[in-house]
Amino acid sequence: MTSHFKTAFIHSDKFEQYELGPNHPFKPIRSKLVYDLCNKHGLLDHPWIRVEEPIELDVTTLAAFHDMLYLNNLRKANGGEFEPGMIVFNIGTGECPVFKGVYDYAKLAAGASYRGMLSILQDGARIAFSPTGGYHHAGRRHAEGFCYINDIGIVIDVLLARGRHVAYIDIDAHHSNGIQDAFYTDPRVLKISLHESGKTLYPWGGFETETGAGEGTGFNVNVPLPPYTDDEHYLKAFDNIVPPLVGAFEPDFIVAVIGIDTVAADPLTHLNLKNNGFCDAIARIKALGKPILALGGGGYNLDSLARSWTLAWAVMNDIEPEDEHVGTIGGMLLGQQDIPGGSLRDMRQFASGPQKKEIESEIKRVVDYLKRTVFPVHAL
């Protein structure tokens, strides 16, 4: 067991007080589910691990990334009342509804990511994880895709101001369009997003041809994946792209969005990973050897989310949890699908036949394109 580095788990009981709506797929209680399951497995009890509360972000900090007029409208929505002028900023839509405390929640979630960053920059942590983070769709002046405040953009701007070069690695099933848009021309941020193809999934973009502009050309890397991509093909794409580019870029800091909506059990996406492949990707990010701020991102099957992010936290800390401790968390039986014996891990399953050949062919096409166009920029 290694204990030479510190890790920080960022959590607040306040998150569970908020709800976007009874039928909205995004559930703020996710942080509590992961925290409780980590606790049940003893994954927060080691001497090198700290559990930390989010910090309160003031409007000046938020305005370093976001437009002030947008923030003012989001603050108006905090009481839970919609005003017609908000719709210009996509506040009050089905995806980004007005709810009581919307500004407080978004600010708290961003404060969790900020706290994680400070744990690394100031307190000596090697890895920090906030399950309530990774709002990669929010724009500088609009809400989008369940995201109101772009915590990632705020953190990256701070890191850049402090002279750090940042590798941003996003393994969420949805393309990180908010981060791509914000840093498309910036060569100080290497942006790599592995996601389901925009041909079949929101936000309908993130194609391999979107490689950056101006000085940032070659620093925006999209790996769109065909539906039903499984662990084997996902990891092959990851290994071909991420380690070589990050190795050549030599970042000071990694920001990773580790959405778990890539798994077959997720109701909003069409990929076919199991959490074994997901955990293998987490291990590969950790093996890159840089300080890591890991942020939750998407995940809309709460059962799978809690198990998978608990496993991810175990991987980050070089711990193998004892599966026999699995039980009922938050009134929900964890382990209802594909988990004989109550294991945290999914059963392994792989594509075969014609489907496998189609997936292989499409991923090879994307990887070959990136090796022809992006790799030379990095002398690869």
pLDDT of residue 4: 52
User: Among candidates 254, 50, 279, 258, which has minimal Cα distance to 165?
Assistant: 254
Q: In the chain, which stretches have pLDDT less than 70? A: 1-5, 322-342, 348-352
Q: Which residues contact 67 (CB under 8 A, 6 or more apart)?
A: 140, 141
User: Among candidates 190, 277, 183, which has minimal Cα distance to 238?
Assistant: 277
Catalytic residue among 175, 233, 270, 325: 175
Amino acid letter at 317? N
DSSP state of 80: S
How far is C-alpha 31 from the geometric centre of its chain's CA atoms? 13
User: Among candidates 197, 174, 116, 199, which has minimal Cα distance to 297?
Assistant: 174
> Is the previous residue joined to 291 through a cis bond, with omega within 30 degrees of 0?
no
What is the value of pTM for the model shown?
Answer: 0.93
3 state DSSP class of 6 = strand
User: Among candidates 263, 299, 306, which has minimal Cα distance to 25?
Assistant: 299
pLDDT of residue 344: 85
Helix, strand counts (H, E) of the chain: 10, 10
CATH number of 6-378: 3.40.800.20
CA distance 257 to 191: 11
Decide: 279 and 310 in contact? Cβ < 8 Å: no
Q: Domain residues of the chain, as ranges?
A: 6-378
pLDDT of residue 321: 72
Is 175 annotated in the active site?
A: yes
Neighbours of 164 (CB within 10 A): 16
Instruction: Provide the residue count of the chain.
Output: 380
CA distance 313 to 34: 9
pLDDT of residue 251: 98
Amino acid letter at 78? N
pLDDT of residue 325: 42
